[in-house]
Chains A and B, each alone.
Chain A
Amino acid sequence: MTKPLIIAGKTFSSRLFLGTGKFASAQQMQDAILASGTELVTVALKRVDVHNPQDRLLDHLKHPRINLLPNTSGVRNAREAVFAAQLAREALETNWVKLEIHPDPRYLMPDPIETLKATEELAKLGFIVLPYIHADPVLCKRLEEAGTAAVMPLGSPIGSNKGLKTLDFLEIIIEQSNVPVIVDAGIGAPSDAAKAMELGVDAVLVNTAIAASENPVQMATAFKIATECGRIAHDACLAKSVTHAIASSPLTAFLDD
């Protein structure tokens, strides 16, 4: 049994978080979410009618196991992000927010400067902030100082399914971090999720790889298993790889005779 994940005092037994975009229907999204075993799903504020209790998307996310993590996708700066977070807090009754500030609509690259500014402001306002960022070790430390609850570096460009292209930087971030590290964006296959978990990240967030697959429910199950598998391997401490051969009959053994 692996240790549970704790973010801002809240315990999660699943280390797989899901996005809710790109599914063919709300029902398919719900089925995939349940199959994944996730306890945290992120939902774009712009997609839901927060003033309508019968909103179709929100309705399909009502489950005792599921915690909602509203995201600020669509905002372009810290000011808009703070406003969106406040609206989400009021409407969805959660002070958790996934901070997404990507002013570049082509590659959806996160803006580090505005993200840091917004994190500082939101943390002061009592929010549990989970910011989507580049795999930038220095930025992660600055966000920690600003009061972030976790950091969410990208593995590769969002929606690209290219996997862990930022591996070297993720290793540094994991080594230095005092808050949970969640790989957000780029994870394209269950093997990427397993790799991230083996590496020591605390959780992974997946959307496109599941929603855009031929069978989202089956794929969600595969990610569930892969995430668990990777974490168990991490906890068991992987045997270290070496670059030089260690012969079973060493050439220098005679020295010990």
Chain B
Amino acid sequence: MINFQALFDRQDWEQVKSSIYAKTETDVEKALSSSKRTVEDFKALISPAALPYLESMARLSRQTTLKRFGKTIQLFVPMYLSNECQNICTYCGFSFDNKVKRRTLTDEEILQEASVLKQMGFDHILLVTGEANHTVHVDYFKNAIRLLRPHFANISIEVQPLEQHEYEALIPEGLYSVLVYQETYHKERYKMYHPKGKKANFYYRLETPDRLGKAQIHKIGLGALLGLEDWRTDSFFCALHLDYLQKTYWQTKYSVSFPRIRPAEGITAPEYIITDRELVQLICAYRLFSEEVELSMSTRESEKFRNHILSLGITTISAGSKTNPGGYAVEPDTLEQFEISDERSPQEMAQVITDQGYEPVWKDWDRSYWG
């Protein structure tokens, strides 16, 4: 069986980029009228040639999302367990070279944070850490999931890539999904953004979804960090990855997120900008490419943007997020990974969802399913 690395290595970044920018209005129209869209259609939909078709894309995206997901939006919240990190990543507030105080939550602190999030109404939780294998390792995750499992219906993680057997060990504990963003699919420039630490190994990260698929995880979350490289080219590779994974690990669900680089400790402005208009184009393109993929929106985006994007293809949204360990209850002033943009409370966000004629869904899984 072919793995994604082999498929990826057949591609050339510059050629892919050129082919996206060479797409014409005819290609876009073909993609829009197609009932089963290919990765070539995806290229057309994210190309500059598709921008004049944005309204048509948005209408189709809304229609397709309504058919598949109905008038519902799922809510989740991140819980940062640790900001310790051994990696240097030039865009991240947790970067090893940021000489700031680090902390990792204890059992008691994890439960303290959980209690506050439960009171807010959350039942789906995303556990986040930096990459510090000596403190936040598979045993730490196992313990955290065991602690939280009685309190939440659905537990996801966004941590360092693990080995297949490590994921296999976490799944019976109650792990539902794993989010692992490639950051950028530009192999050479990836090294520049990740000069030190285990994360510098491009292919180890690239093959993480394969390890997750083999471990039979319920859901894999993909994404590229928008701002590191040309967003169109990165997004094409992410869509190619999604397409490969859907065909290979057919029992797994998938989600895609759209993180735009946000201000953080020691971070300069991104070199590559994706505008609001282009981000809408990208979200709609994903929906038209994959009717069933969950599309997730974080609090990195502004209130205005989040209000309007709700009905254009997004199915999952976070609210009231803190990006620092202990940020909800234990120690609100620890180092945050990045500044959030939408600071509305979960209840305020739920009201916005309701006002738009959608139902905020707090629970769509059950811990009893773990047996």
Does A65 reach chain B (CB closer than 8 Å)?
Answer: no
Chain B contact residues: over half helix, strand or loop, or mixed? loop
Does A227 reach chain B (CB closer than 8 Å)?
Answer: no
* Docked-complex contact A21 and B70, CB < 8 angstroms: yes
Does A137 reach chain B (CB closer than 8 Å)?
Answer: no
Contact residues in A for B357 (Cβ distance below 8 Å): 24
Closest chain A residue to B252, Cβ basis: A105
* Docked-complex contact A49 and B71, CB < 8 angstroms: no
Chain A contact residues: over half helix, strand or loop, or mixed? loop
Contact check: which of A25, A45, A75, A106 meets B354 at CB < 8 Å?
A: A25
Contact check: which of A22, A25, A50, A84 meets B369 at CB < 8 Å?
A: A84
A145 CA to B368 CA, complexed, in Å: 29
Does A103 reach chain B (CB closer than 8 Å)?
Answer: yes
* Docked-complex contact A159 and B368, CB < 8 angstroms: no
- Total count of chain B residues near the partner, CB < 8 A: 27
* Docked-complex contact A25 and B366, CB < 8 angstroms: no
Given A22-B70, A161-B67, verify A87-B359 contact (CB < 8 Å). no
Q: Name, among B70, B251, B252, the residue most crowded by chain A CB atoms within 10 Å (CB to CB).
A: B70
Contact check: which of B70, B358, B368 meets A84 at CB < 8 Å?
A: B368
* Docked-complex contact B359 and A105, CB < 8 angstroms: no
Does B52 reach chain A (CB closer than 8 Å)?
Answer: no
Contact check: which of A21, A24, A44, A105 meets B292 at CB < 8 Å?
A: A105
* Docked-complex contact B368 and A105, CB < 8 angstroms: no
Does B10 reach chain A (CB closer than 8 Å)?
Answer: no
A120 CA to B339 CA, complexed, in Å: 54
Q: Name, among B66, B358, B359, B363, the residue most crowded by chain A CB atoms within 10 Å (CB to CB).
A: B359
Expressed in whole angstroms, the minimum distance between the Cβ of A33 and any Cβ of chain B is: 15
Contact residues in B for A161 (Cβ distance below 8 Å): 67
Does A138 reach chain B (CB closer than 8 Å)?
Answer: no
A80 CA to B369 CA, complexed, in Å: 6
Expressed in whole angstroms, the minimum distance between the Cβ of A59 and any Cβ of chain B is: 14
Q: Name, among B66, B71, B253, B368, the residue most crowded by chain A CB atoms within 10 Å (CB to CB).
A: B368
A24 CA to B70 CA, complexed, in Å: 7
* Docked-complex contact B364 and A76, CB < 8 angstroms: no
A159 CA to B70 CA, complexed, in Å: 10
Expressed in whole angstroms, the minimum distance between the Cβ of B81 and any Cβ of chain A is: 25
Contact check: which of B246, B253, B363, B371 meets A49 at CB < 8 Å?
A: B363
Does B203 reach chain A (CB closer than 8 Å)?
Answer: no
CB proximity to B under 8 Å, residues A12-59 = 21-26, 44-50
A158 CA to B260 CA, complexed, in Å: 34
Does B361 reach chain A (CB closer than 8 Å)?
Answer: yes
**C-beta contact mask, A180-213 vs B, less than 8 Å → 1, else 0?**
0000000000000000000000000000100110
* Docked-complex contact B366 and A45, CB < 8 angstroms: yes
Does B72 reach chain A (CB closer than 8 Å)?
Answer: yes
**C-beta contact mask, B313-357 vs A, less than 8 Å → 1, else 0?**
000000000000000000000000000000000000000001001
Expressed in whole angstroms, the minimum distance between the Cβ of B364 and any Cβ of chain A is: 6
* Beyond A46-B153, A212-B71, 10 additional pairs, beta carbon < 8 A: A21-B72, A22-B71, A22-B72, A23-B71, A25-B359, A47-B361, A84-B366, A87-B368, A105-B252, A212-B70
Which residues from chain A sit less than 8 Å from chain B, CB to CB? 21-26, 44-50, 74-76, 79-80, 83-84, 87, 103-106, 159, 161, 208, 211-212
- 20 pairs, A vs B, C-beta closer than 8 Å: A21-B70, A22-B70, A22-B71, A24-B359, A26-B359, A45-B366, A45-B368, A49-B363, A74-B366, A76-B251, A80-B371, A83-B371, A84-B369, A87-B366, A103-B251, A106-B246, A159-B67, A161-B67, A208-B67, A212-B70
